Amino acid sequence: MRQELRLSSGTGHEPGEMRPGGRTARNREAVCRATLRELATRDYAGLTVESVAEQAGVHKTTVYRRWGGVDGLIVDALQYAVDDDWQPDLTGTVDGNLLRFARIALDSFTDPETGPTHAAVVAAAFQSERAIDAVHSFFADRFGRASAIVEAAIERRELPPNTDAVGVIRCVMAPIYFRLFISREQVDEADVEQAVQAALAAARAGTFGIPE
């Protein structure tokens, strides 16, 4: 989703900050945006503290002191990317809400601005243990938020009680990620609809039931 790996301004507050919008916050925003851009254009192997510092207009000793190195930059850039206030739309049916969620995600993967960053972050996890941790947290956060769609559907009795909400969200997104980043197949609107319908059929059949 365009908001998922946002390249817009940050809202995160943290201990080192004097105030939101202060120099520390501005530096973080510049460095995280530069890291995401550099990841998208050069990939993990080409990412250096020097290139990020130059792109961000921040002295490289500041970057080394605050972020430690390349892995620290990736972890914080991903954290920055998810530090937004995105929440899923819960109006309408579970079919429509999941379809909207999946479409926004697909748009962000195919968007010329945010798409390469998504791919670079997935690729970085093949080369860096800390990137794996960051990706893991990223999905825990995103899928956790999206699972409100499934929880609302359980409440409205559209899906069985005890349905594992994150399991349903993963089932919707897995074939889309698989086609894009593993089997390298085209993904169109019909594929997104099929992914949603497959996940819902499985959920209705009780496949994602959490044992009592």
Query: Which residues contact a copy of itself (rule: CB under 8 A)?
Result: 43, 45, 119-120, 122-123, 125-127, 132, 135-136, 139, 143, 167, 170-171, 173-175, 177-179, 181-185, 194, 197-199, 201-202, 204-205, 207-208
With respect to a copy of itself, which residue has the nearer C-beta, 25 or 195? 195
**In degrees rounded to 5, what are phi and psi of residue 209?**
-65, 130
Q: What is the dihedral of CA 131, 144, 194, 211, to 10 degrees?
A: 110
With respect to a copy of itself, which residue has the nearer C-beta, 44 or 67? 44
With respect to a copy of itself, which residue has the nearer C-beta, 25 or 203? 203
Could you tell me the smallest distance in angstroms from the CB atom of residue 182 to a copy of itself?
5
Could you tell me the smallest distance in angstroms from the CB atom of residue 203 to a copy of itself?
8
Determine the Cα–Cα distance for residues 204 and 212; give it in Å rounded to an integer: 17
Could you tell me the smallest distance in angstroms from the CB atom of residue 117 to a copy of itself?
13
With respect to a copy of itself, which residue has the nearer C-beta, 16 or 206? 206
Could you tell me the smallest distance in angstroms from the CB atom of residue 137 to a copy of itself?
10
With respect to a copy of itself, which residue has the nearer C-beta, 31 or 173? 173
- Find tokens 């510092």 and name the residue: 53
Neighbour tally for 71: CB within 10 Å: 19
Could you tell me the smallest distance in angstroms from the CB atom of residue 173 to a copy of itself?
7
8 A C-beta contact, residue 23 and residue 127: no
For the chain, the first-to-last Cα distance in angstroms comes to: 34
By CB atoms closer than 10 A (0-12, 13-18, 19+), residue 139 is middle
With respect to a copy of itself, which residue has the nearer C-beta, 27 or 51? 51
Runs of H (alpha helix) within the chain: 23-42, 49-56, 60-67, 70-82, 94-110, 115-124, 129-155, 165-177, 189-204
Could you tell me the smallest distance in angstroms from the CB atom of residue 113 to a copy of itself?
18
8 A C-beta contact, residue 85 and residue 11: yes
